[in-house]
Amino acid sequence: MTTIGHVFIPLDREHDGVVPRGEDRAHFESLPVPLALWQSFEECLSDHLSELSEGQIDRDEKFWFEAAHVNAMIAVVEAEAVAAAPELRDWLISLVAFARRAADRQVGVVFVIS
């Protein structure tokens, strides 16, 4: 699978709000963002998620959802997954499960797209 980036969540609150770099990545879980699904993700969700995120939802960008907005992000992604194409829906379901771990830890979610 070719990826365009990763979604990161910190393993603890100490690293919340940090964009992982180099050795700092050991303090984060990551979920790959498949290149083949990125355009569909943008078309389907960028308008809805832009209202909740910090940063630009676009290629070559970083954007994040603070801990207070993670549950709202999950709700938006779940709602869009229902009507999404099967391959996008599968990834969105993975993203929801991943983001729920962030909500449980009370930390944010960071997307790093390149």
List pLDDT tens digits, range 7-21: 999 999 999 988 888
pLDDT band at 106 (very low <50, low <70, confident <90, very high): very high
The structure's pTM equals: 0.88
Average pLDDT, the chain: 88
Q: Which are the contacts of 54, defined by CB distance < 8 A and separation ≥ 6?
A: 63, 64, 65, 66
The answer to whether 77 and 96 have CB atoms below 8 angstroms apart is yes
Residues 62, 67, 69, 70: what is their CA dihedral angle, to the nearest 10 degrees? 80
Would you say the C-alpha torsion 75, 88, 40, 101 has a positive or negative sign? positive
Range of the domain at 10: 3-113
* Number of domain units in the chain: 1
Q: Which two tokens stand for residue 31?
A: 């979920």
CB burial of residue 2 (10 Å; 0-12, 13-18, 19+): exposed
